[in-house]
């Protein structure tokens, strides 16, 4: 059903969809998006739809009846975004789903960072760029429901006449208590999406995810992983876009069944305290290591509220909290120290 | 009284004090410290005493009767420390007072960082170093009692036959509700300590503090400042040590009267929530910008629990929380955006 309603808008021919209502007006004028058929426009429509579909799927689970708050914002340097946040709900303690479509000039330091990743760009100059992406972090209230994060983005950098483009993104899960069935379902859904495009993707992107969401000072992962990739420009733009679209469409089927399964479970205050401690680790990763957060906060004029919406409503730090090895908390910690293959 | 009991241990002749009980055994064997009369030994004794005095002063205010938990730890590469934490007390939600005395080799990247600050050190080589310091962050439970942080340290780097040394440190206050009288008392006590050594210090180090504890992405300070300095190697080693000692001795008179004044005040849940939000900003500063935290976490083999003890027990992040301008929360925010001169 989801696939069907989305297909009309970001197929090869762009037709604005009647049956998908976006959370706000598009960043680029809708007439322009309808007229154009380039990757920038198609990506913008895709992320607007993915945002709307995901927010609506979450609202259906939010039994308190709370709805997303929608902020449409502009960026002085060019472009803007739509930030949707549902805060202090019954099921979702804090849920943020953000899209942004921005243009501007990359400072030489950012260009240098891309060169170090292998991009063939001129050194020491500002280069014009375009970026469109969707990013979401959902922190449920019940400690039995995991936190999910995903992010899919399209990037263009112009160097003289040449335009470099690539896609990046990923989806990953952070449980507080491990349900192996959930882990298999989540990874299985992502693997199926990968396999539809390239059977080598899942293995590679799962490993990349484990490596990326690692907290070196604690020697543990942020969660049980998922997929992560960057600089994807093969086999071609059309194929890469289709893959990223498929990944974005897989978020709902990978996550919503897990929410439904656990959201009404009873839990104790001890379990809640453990969840808050783990949320502290989430904050550590995001503020110290996450490239997106760092890049964002160090960009002058960035909308920091849309970057920091990823932080949990509440978090906790206890000195020297080491769970008993054989407890459920200890077993989760063991998995985080030694990432497992789930499918 | 404090000055008297401390003086015996770190005067020019080192005599271990009978009337000061350290929180744990010294890092360096006590006989060795007694024998030697070099700056390393005197600094170690000074920080051990400052730790004990401060922990005992806090325990006297902790009406719940909770005591500091003391961990003595060793570092594989050389040296060790003593970490004292009082967690979940009635008055102090989380209080950490850490000393460390460490030796080892600075990696070339750390040497490069020091060169960029003007140190005349050889490039691209590992250099042996010694560091001894005390660091504390106290997060009280009552929103009317401010958080205090201080850190005083002595550093040596050996490059061939030459030994470079310097002192660094500072003390700063982070209130949740502003009491102007407190601000004047706090800054006044620090200014008095500075003035006893150099009448140009306070103005310079107050400004440095405002600049250092700045959160660029929010355009606000972490708190109402205090003093901060680094690379202090003038007018001489003896004088610089006396100044740093005086600063360390000023922590108790600058802070304990403020604790006494507010610790039994009634407060509402709204005030508690505001405190938790501000603690989120504290976490942002420490994890994103603080040089000590970053340096610590990126040092292999660092004891991360002693670094992260600075984080509050609980913190909170709300999307787009902007207090009403004329509220007490709004007035504090205004001061944090425009640091004031208090004395």
User: Nearest Cβ partner of A319 from B216, B309, B317?
Assistant: B309
User: Nearest Cβ partner of A319 from B216, B284, B305?
Assistant: B305
Laid out side by side, the sheet with B92-106 consists of B69-74, B79-87, B92-106, B127-140, B147-159, B162-174, B225-232
- Residue A315 structure tokens: 């978090």
| Signed CA dihedral, A227, A228, A233, A234: sign only | negative
Q: Which residues of A touch B314 (CB under 8 A)?
A: 276, 314-316
Q: Which of A73, A306, A317 to mutate to test the interface with B (most CBs of B within 10 A)?
A: A317
Element spanning A145, H or E: none
Laid out side by side, the sheet with A147-159 consists of A69-74, A79-87, A92-106, A127-140, A147-159, A162-174, A225-232
Q: How far is B224 from chain A (nearest CA, A)?
A: 22
Q: How far is A319 from chain B (nearest CA, A)?
A: 6
Contact predicate A93/A138, CB 8 Å: no
Residue bearing tokens 């000072």 = A217
Query: Model confidence at A20, in pLDDT bands (50, 70, 90)?
Result: low
pLDDT at B12: 37
Contact A315 B316 (CB under 8 A): yes
Q: Which residues of A touch B220 (CB under 8 A)?
A: none
What tens digit of pLDDT does each residue of A121-171 get? 999 899 999 999 999 999 999 999 999 999 999 999 999 999 999 999 999
Query: Model confidence at B301, in pLDDT bands (50, 70, 90)?
Result: confident
pLDDT at B299: 76
pLDDT at A15: 40
A309 to chain B: closest CA residue = B319
Distance of alpha carbon A228 from its chain centroid, rounded? 10
- Cα–Cα distance measured from residue B325 to residue A27, given in angstroms and rounded to the nearest whole number: 31
Contact A315 B314 (CB under 8 A): yes
Q: Which residues of B touch A309 (CB under 8 A)?
A: 319
pLDDT at B81: 97
- CB-based burial label for B208 (10 Å; 0-12, 13-18, 19+): middle
User: Nearest Cβ partner of B320 from A283, A284, A305?
Assistant: A305
Contact B316 A318 (CB under 8 A): no
Contact A288 B288 (CB under 8 A): yes
Find the chain A residues whose C-beta atoms sit closer than 8 A to any C-beta of B.
69, 71, 85, 87, 94, 96, 216-218, 276, 280, 283-284, 287-288, 294, 297, 302, 304-305, 307-309, 311-320
Q: Which of A217, A283, A300, A313 to mutate to test the interface with B (most CBs of B within 10 A)?
A: A217
B185 noted as active-site residue: no
Contact B316 A317 (CB under 8 A): no
| Residue-averaged pLDDT of chain B | 93
Q: What is the ipTM of this complex?
A: 0.93
Give yes or no for residue B302 having a pLDDT over 90. Answer: no
Query: Model confidence at B340, in pLDDT bands (50, 70, 90)?
Result: very high
Q: Which of B217, B283, B306, B322 to mutate to test the interface with A (most CBs of A within 10 A)?
A: B217
Contact B313 A312 (CB under 8 A): no
Contact A316 B314 (CB under 8 A): yes
Query: Model confidence at B300, in pLDDT bands (50, 70, 90)?
Result: confident
- Residue A267 structure tokens: 């839990």
Q: Where are the alpha helices (DSSP H) in B119-227?
A: 180-195, 201-212
Q: Which residues of A touch B94 (CB under 8 A)?
A: 317, 319
- Cα–Cα distance measured from residue B328 to residue B152, given in angstroms and rounded to the nearest whole number: 33
Give yes or no for residue B128 having a pLDDT over 70. Answer: yes
Q: Between A and B, how many residue pairs show a Cβ–Cβ distance under 8 A?
A: 81
Contact predicate A133/A47, CB 8 Å: yes
B304 to chain A: closest CA residue = A217
What tens digit of pLDDT does each residue of A279-334 get? 999 999 999 999 989 888 887 778 999 999 999 999 999 999 999 999 999 999 99
pLDDT at B14: 38
A69 to chain B: closest CA residue = B319
User: Nearest Cβ partner of A316 from B297, B313, B317?
Assistant: B313
User: Nearest Cβ partner of A297 from B288, B294, B307?
Assistant: B288
Q: Where are the alpha helices (DSSP H) in chain B?
A: 2-10, 30-35, 39-61, 108-116, 180-195, 201-212, 237-249, 251-262, 269-284, 291-297, 304-308, 328-337
Element spanning B77, H or E: none
Interhelix angle for B180-195 vs B251-262, to 10°?
A: 170
- Residue B161 structure tokens: 């036959």
Catalytic one of A149, A185, A187, A262: A149
Q: How far is A135 from chain B (nearest CA, A)?
A: 15
Contact predicate B126/B105, CB 8 Å: yes
Contact predicate B128/B48, CB 8 Å: no
Rounded mean pLDDT, A88-101? 98
Give yes or no for residue B295 having a pLDDT over 90. Answer: no
Q: Which residues of B touch A314 (CB under 8 A)?
A: 276, 314-316
Specify the 3-state DSSP secondary structure of B73: strand
Q: How far apart are the first and last CA of chain A?
A: 26
Q: Which residues of B touch A305 (CB under 8 A)?
A: 319-320
- Residue A251 structure tokens: 């978020």
- Cα–Cα distance measured from residue A213 to residue A284, given in angstroms and rounded to the nearest whole number: 11
pLDDT at A294: 87
Instruction: Using CA atoms of A209, A213, A218, A220 in order, give the dihedral in degrees to the nearest 10.
Output: -40
Q: Which of B288, B306, B265, B316 is nearest to B137 (CA)?
A: B306
What distances in angstroms separate CA A250 from CA A189, A194, B97, B165, B210, one per listed residue? Answer: 7, 10, 48, 58, 47
User: Nearest Cβ partner of A287 from B96, B288, B304?
Assistant: B288
Specify the 3-state DSSP secondary structure of A124: coil
| Residue-averaged pLDDT of chain A | 93
Rounded mean pLDDT, B307-328? 97
Q: How far is A7 from chain B (nearest CA, A)?
A: 33
pLDDT at B20: 67
User: Nearest Cβ partner of A320 from B305, B311, B314?
Assistant: B305
- Residue B241 structure tokens: 């040590």
Catalytic one of B149, B185, B187, B262: B149
pLDDT at B341: 97
Q: Which residues of B touch A313 (CB under 8 A)?
A: 316-318
A322 to chain B: closest CA residue = B305
Query: Model confidence at A245, in pLDDT bands (50, 70, 90)?
Result: very high
Contact B308 A302 (CB under 8 A): no
Contact B317 A312 (CB under 8 A): yes
- Cα–Cα distance measured from residue A92 to residue A165, given in angstroms and rounded to the nearest whole number: 36
Contact B315 A320 (CB under 8 A): no
User: Nearest Cβ partner of A87 from B71, B94, B318?
Assistant: B318
Contact B85 A319 (CB under 8 A): yes
Q: Where are the alpha helices (DSSP H) in chain A?
A: 2-10, 30-35, 39-61, 108-116, 180-195, 201-212, 237-249, 251-262, 269-284, 291-297, 304-308, 328-337
Q: How far is A272 from chain B (nearest CA, A)?
A: 13
What tens digit of pLDDT does each residue of B236-283 get? 999 999 999 999 999 999 999 999 999 999 999 999 999 999 999 999
pLDDT at B8: 41
- Cα–Cα distance measured from residue B247 to residue B196, given in angstroms and rounded to the nearest whole number: 10
Contact predicate A201/A257, CB 8 Å: no
Q: What is the pTM of this model?
A: 0.93
């Amino acid at each position: 059903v989801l696939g069907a309603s989305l297909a009309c808008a970001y197929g090869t021919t762009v037709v604005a969809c009647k049956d998908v209502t976006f959370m706000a007006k598009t960043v680029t004028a809708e007439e322009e998006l309808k007229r154009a058929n380039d990757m920038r426009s198609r990506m913008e429509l895709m992320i607007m739809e993915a945002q709307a579909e995901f927010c609506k799927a979450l609202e259906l689970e939010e039994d308190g009846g709370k709805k997303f708050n929608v902020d449409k914002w502009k960026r002085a340097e060019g472009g803007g975004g739509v930030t949707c946040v549902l805060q202090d709900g019954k099921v979702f303690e804090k849920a943020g789903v953000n899209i942004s479509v921005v243009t501007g000039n990359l400072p030489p330091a950012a260009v240098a960072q891309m060169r170090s990743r292998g991009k063939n760009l001129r050194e020491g100059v500002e280069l014009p760029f375009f970026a469109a992406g969707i990013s979401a972090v959902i922190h449920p209230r019940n400690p039995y429901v995991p936190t999910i994060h995903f992010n899919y983005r399209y990037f263009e950098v112009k160097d003289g006449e040449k335009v470099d483009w690539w896609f990046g993104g990923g989806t990953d899960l952070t449980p507080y208590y491990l349900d192996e069935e959930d882990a298999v379902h989540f990874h299985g859904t992502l693997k199926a999406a990968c396999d539809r495009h390239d059977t080598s993707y899942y293995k590679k992107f799962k490993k990349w995810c484990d490596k990326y969401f690692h907290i070196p000072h604690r020697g543990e992962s942020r969660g049980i992983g998922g997929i992560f990739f960057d600089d994807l420009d093969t086999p071609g733009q059309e194929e890469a876009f289709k893959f990223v679209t498929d990944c974005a469409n897989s978020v709902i089927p990978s996550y919503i069944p897990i929410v439904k399964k656990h959201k009404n479970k009873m839990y104790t205050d001890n379990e809640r305290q453990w969840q808050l401690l783990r949320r502290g680790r989430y904050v550590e990763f995001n503020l110290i290591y996450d490239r997106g957060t760092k890049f964002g906060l160090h960009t002058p004029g960035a909308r920091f509220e849309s970057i920091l919406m990823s932080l949990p409503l509440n978090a906790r730090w206890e000195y020297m909290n080491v769970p008993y090895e054989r407890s459920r908390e200890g077993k989760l910690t063991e998995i985080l120290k030694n990432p497992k293959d789930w499918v």
